[in-house]
Structure 1
Amino acid sequence: MSHANPLKGRTAVVTGAARGLGAGLARELAGRGMRVALLGREAETLEQVARRLPAESRCYEVDVTDDDLMERTARRVTRDLGEPSVVIANAGIAEGGPFATSDPRTWRRVIEVNLVGSAVTARVFLPGLLASRGYFLQVASTAAFGSAPMMSAYCASKAGAESFAQSLRAECAYQGVGVGIAYLHWTDTDMVRDVDAHDVLRELRAHMPRPARKVYPVERVATWLADAVLRRSATVYAPPWLRVAQPLRPLLPLLVAWTSARTLPRLAAGGPLPATGLLGPGGRADEAGGDRPGGR
């Protein structure tokens, strides 16, 4: 192990690595000398990402909600690349629209990928992290503490993922495993770009304060998260100014409710508010029942 670069030569696992932030994290960690296991459901897209990495990598086509397949995948990763020192639970999907008329299957799928999939990822790779005294990073969202209307499944899943990671941190600290939570805001991924394709979600985002509407490049967010991996940070905020929002968490639901009470009636006056279905190309692939990337 290099003292100048403690990540060099170690193994990282990234879920949802076929596109967006997952692919960006794979590139960033490989650039820091790590071997990378890319997990997702789009085999061809995973291979395209892997071919451009500057370090050894392997691709594993898997649904993060499938316990048995994930267990077998964890054994394959260890056999192929060694015990993981870093595991990033990044896989995530989203849908928008009124809860009352949402498709129960789509709503449940968001919870399964974002929350249950994160727990499955932690469960199957935890033996390796215990052996390496490694680091688990849960990718959460500002949706965990600033829940928005029309995004009930996503917000519930990210709040759950945050609580899960906090519980896991307390449970594993004495065993030398670090657990971090990444709070992401607007990141320039296919899923986030799809938000602006839907009138209601675009309108709701437009009512945020100007700094809160800014979208950050994947490469910049991946750098922030990789720096947190290097430091084994308990929390990482992307962008960093989000840290100041944490003390204001009790006030955010009141602010959201106040804004929504003034915005939603006007939007609803134009007719029933539509459901978006799963957002982004990854979400649509999942919805179609084909390759299910679960990548945000």
Structure 2
Amino acid sequence: MRDSPLRDRTVVVTGAARGLGAALARELARRHARIALLGHERAALRQVAATLPAPALALEVDITDPAALHRAADTVRARLGRPSAVIANAGLALAGPVETADPPAWRRVIDVNLTGSAFTAQAFLPDLLHTRGYYLQIASTAALGAVPLMSAYCASKAGAEAFTHALRAETAHRGMAVGIAYLNWTDTGMIRDIHTHPALQAPRRLLPPPARRILPTDQAAARLARAVEQRSTALYLPAWTRLAQVGRAGLPPLITRLARARFQHRQSGLPRTQTGLLGPGGLADQAARRDTPRP
């Protein structure tokens, strides 16, 4: 860790109150980076910051609020210095059929996963251009092969993938690097209660057994931290998921055939219930918006 290129560099991590974001903050701090933790939950962010061995700053911010993000960028710059890396990790998920989807919840997943990532990049872009830094978008294999019952999540991650490619093309000539990480099922709060939600179990059961494996958060964080050090263009976790990129043109018809075969022979057909926003992060997002005064 003594030779890490992140030593004494400022790194911003969104969605850092728990799960992958918190684990990633710890991995980066072990590399002697200064960490800015952004998210909804001030107390949880401060708890994570207090455990880090390097200087850290906890900032409560809604990443779908551009003005708040720009204020956060000003604070990070003043307190920790210009960021050399920004990791757009914050995300939400829900599961259930489009037919019964709750429009505000469906839209919120798009707002956070896609629009929030874009606003994050925009707010910190002046700093990353100045430092010739690195922006890492946490995406998902859901961007490569959309599955039934997770339409909002898949659409948001596919959009985030396209945004990342566009941002890379816009900034490459200015020395900035842009990467994307395609994660398969990872042990975060969003899927930890997977066995209680039929709408979340169903798409996972369409996959072959190796593709159902849940990756431990600490393993994912260690790989992501190395990707930041190496300014990687693309990272696939687990590594075999790169095959999905190679064969992505054939994934939609394959998934459609598998879904048709599974659901048409079930007496109840598709699960019809909605999960709502998943995990503690989803609950925190709902609480933060409920407590925010409306203009």
Q: Same fold (TM over 0.5)?
A: yes
Q: Deviations over 1:99-145 (max 9, x none)?
A: 12111100000000000000000000000001100000000000001
* Contact 2:199-2:275 at 8 Å conserved across structures: no
**1:275 Cα offset (Å):** 0.8
Which residue of structure 1 aligns with residue 248 of structure 2? 249
C-alpha separation between the residues in 1 aligned to 2:247 and 2:269?
34
What does residue 161 of structure 1 align with?
160
**Does the Cα contact within 8 Å between 2:100 and 2:272 map onto a contact in 1?**
no
What 5-or-longer segments of structure 1 have no aligned partner? none
Counterpart CA distance in 2 for 1:291 and 1:14 is 24
- Equivalent residues of 1:17, 1:39 under 8 A apart: yes
Rounded to whole Å, the distance in 2 between the matches of 1:269 and 1:170 is 47
Paired with 1:74 and 1:55, the residues of 2 have a C-alpha distance of 19
Residues 1:191 and 2:190 are matched in the alignment: yes
Per the TM alignment, residue 271 of structure 1 is displaced from its structure 2 partner at its CA by 8.3
What aligned pairs does 1:33-48 form with structure 2 within 5 A after superposition?
A: 33-48=32-47
1-side partners of 2:163 and 2:193: how far apart? Answer: 28
How far is the alpha carbon of 1:266 from its aligned partner?
4.4
Aligned to 2:99: 100
Q: CA deviation at 1:201?
A: 2.0
Structure 1 counterpart of 2:24: 25
What secondary structure is seen at the aligned counterpart in 2 of 1:196? helix
Matches within 5 A, 1:218-233: 218-233=217-232
Shift of 1:86: 0.5
Residue equivalent to 1:61 = 60
Q: How many residues in Structure 1 have an aligned counterpart in Structure 2?
A: 291
Contact 1:196–1:202 (Cα < 8 Å) also in 2: yes
Deviation at residue 235 of structure 1 after TM alignment? 0.1
CA distance 1:135–1:291, change in 2 (3 Å): farther
The amino acid that maps onto 2:228 is: V
Given the superposition, is the C-alpha separation of residues 162 and 271 from structure 1 closer, same or farther in structure 2, using an over 3 Å criterion? Answer: closer
- Deviating 4+ runs (over 3 angstroms): 265-268, 288-292
Unaligned runs of 5+ in 2: none
Larger relative contact order (CA 8 Å, sep ≥ 6): 1
* Counterpart Cα distance in 2 of 1:289 and 1:9: 33
- CA–CA distance in 2 between the matches of 1:18 and 1:76? 18
In structure 1, the residue matched to 2:130 is 131
SS in 1 for 2:191: helix
- Post-superposition shift, 1:291? 8.2
Deviation of 1:267 (Å): 4.8
TM-score after normalising by structure 2: 0.95
- 2:57 aligned counterpart, secondary structure: strand
User: RMSD in angstroms over aligned alpha carbons?
Assistant: 1.7
Aligned to 2:257: 258
Bigger mean CA deviation after superposition, 246-255 or 283-292: 283-292
Residue 203 of structure 1 deviates from its aligned partner by 3.2
Q: Secondary structure at the match of 1:204?
A: helix
Alignment match, 1:234: 233
Q: TM-score normalized by structure 1?
A: 0.94
- Taking only the aligned residue pairs, the percentage that are identical comes to 55
